[in-house]
Amino acid sequence: MKKKERIYLAPPHMSGRELQYIQEAFRSNWISSMGSNIDEMEKQLAAYTGAKHTLLTSSGTAALHLALRVLEVGQGDTIFCSSLTFVASANAILYQHAIPVFIDSEPDSWNMSPKALERAFEDAEKKGKLPKAVVIVHLYGQSSDMEALQEICNRYQVPIVEDAAESLGATYKGVQSGTLGRIGIYSFNGNKIITTSGGGAIVSEDPDLIEKAKFWANQAKEPALHYQHEEMGFNYRMSNILAGIGRAQLEVLDQRIRKKRRIFERYNASLQSLPGFEFMKEMTYGTSTRWLSALTVDPDVSSSTALEIIKALSDENIESRPVWKPLHLQPLFKGAAYFSHQPEESVSDRLYEHGICLPSGTNLTDAQQDEVIKIIHKVVTST
């Protein structure tokens, strides 16, 4: 019997115009790190997000690394970072030989807990060593509660880096996610709401920060004919070919957000009444893109656990995933300090243990989604 076509979690979804821009790069022979696709995509991204200054990079991770570098993060500095996230958020901290301190989520938005952040700052102040920056991650397409977090960071005069890799297009009080901190970063990895196959961007209100980032992204090349280098740089630029993909993708970003939200609505309508099922809430302060439709399954109430559901979907060739394993639980960060939401309550541990991210690709058909829903109903009612 022919195996059923695999349903992926968040595969790339081309608009159809990508090749036109790629061909433009070929026609003009600007197939490297300069060209009109780069210029246009940077302009488009600025226009969409309202960010004043933008720089395209080879990945979101590279953008994060540059962000920490321009904030002069160095050996032995501490950086506060959301714990419930992909490892890239904190790898950039290690690249700069700095020390991550992990901050828990709060239960409603699943994003950084202002309470935990407050306690982390109090502790840092007591020890006489404030962090050099706070990396705030916006999870699964939803902004963190930026005002509450900004109030704390501003009080201690510590800059915010917004890791908006998963939240391009989300808003907070009408403002685009990624543009509220001192620096924001986006990812255009293949699984993101729009993609360049691989790529990222760094944005800021401050032109000097982006200028510096550009300098380091380009091997710290001094303006001299003979390749003069006074500092260590990186090769972190995006290619003009990939920016061609990004131009076409940005044109359909609003469409993609609408589809992601529709996918969520359909899951929500047919699964939310199942005992113990609770979808990630959309906070009243903003709009979530619902990059991934995510929920928790309470094993004390449901007849199935999150892992049993993931396994049942996998048996039918459908990819779903647990919620991120919090970084404070990762062996890589063993021994790192961690501040939970309440002294006795770690929210991210619970979200990880009971969370599921369901297939959320914008090219998912209704029939495929119905299949996912049917399997989940079957597991839950048959156990």
Ligand X SMILES: Cc1ncc(COP(=O)(O)O)c(C=O)c1O
> Which residues in this chain contact ligand X in the complex, by CB under 6 A?
59-61, 85-86, 88-89, 137, 163, 165-166, 187, 189, 200
d(CA 134, CA 64): 12
For residues 274 and 323, which CB has a smaller minimum distance to ligand X in the complex?
323
Q: How far is the CB of 374 from ligand X (least distance, A)?
A: 29
Terminal CA-to-CA distance of the chain, rounded, Å?
27
Q: Quote the least distance from Cβ 269 to ligand X, whole Å.
A: 27
Provide CB contacts within 8 A for 216, sequence distance 6+.
Answer: 66, 69, 70, 231, 233, 234, 236
Per DSSP, the three-state class of 329 is: helix
**Minimum gap (Å) between residue 90 Cβ and ligand X:** 9
Identity of the residue, 118 or 163, whose beta carbon is nearer to ligand X in the bound complex: 163
Residues in the chain: 383
> Is the Cβ–Cβ distance between 144 and 170 less than 8 Å?
no
User: Which CB, 240 or 302, lies closer to ligand X?
Assistant: 240
Q: Which two tokens stand for residue 339?
A: 């501040």
The nearer residue to ligand X, 95 or 156, going by C-beta atoms, is 95
Report the C-alpha gap between 334 and 92 in whole angstroms: 17
Nearer to ligand X, 250 or 379 (CB): 250
Q: Shortest approach of ligand X to residue 274 CB, angstroms? A: 28
Nearest-CB residue for ligand X: 60
Residue whose C-alpha is closest to residue 338's, from 78, 162, 23: 78
Gap between the Cα atoms of 244 and 38, Å rounded: 7
Q: Which helix (H) or strand (E) holds 382?
A: helix 366-382
Instruction: For ligand X, give the closer residue by CB, 138 or 212.
Output: 138
Closer CB to ligand X, 61 or 96, in the complex: 61
CB of 82 to ligand X, least distance (A): 8
| Rounded Cα–Cα distance for residues 85 and 183 (Å) | 18
Which residue, chain included where needed, has tokens 């991934």?
292
Complex with ligand X: residue 10 or 376, whichever CB lies closer? 10
Collapsing DSSP states into helix, strand and coil, what is residue 304? Answer: coil
In the complex, minimum distance from the CB of residue 167 to ligand X, in angstroms, rounded to a whole number: 8
CB of 85 to ligand X, least distance (A): 5
- What distance lies between CA 5 and its chain's CA centroid? 28
User: Which secondary-structure segment (H or E) carries 81?
Assistant: strand 78-82
CB of 32 to ligand X, least distance (A): 20
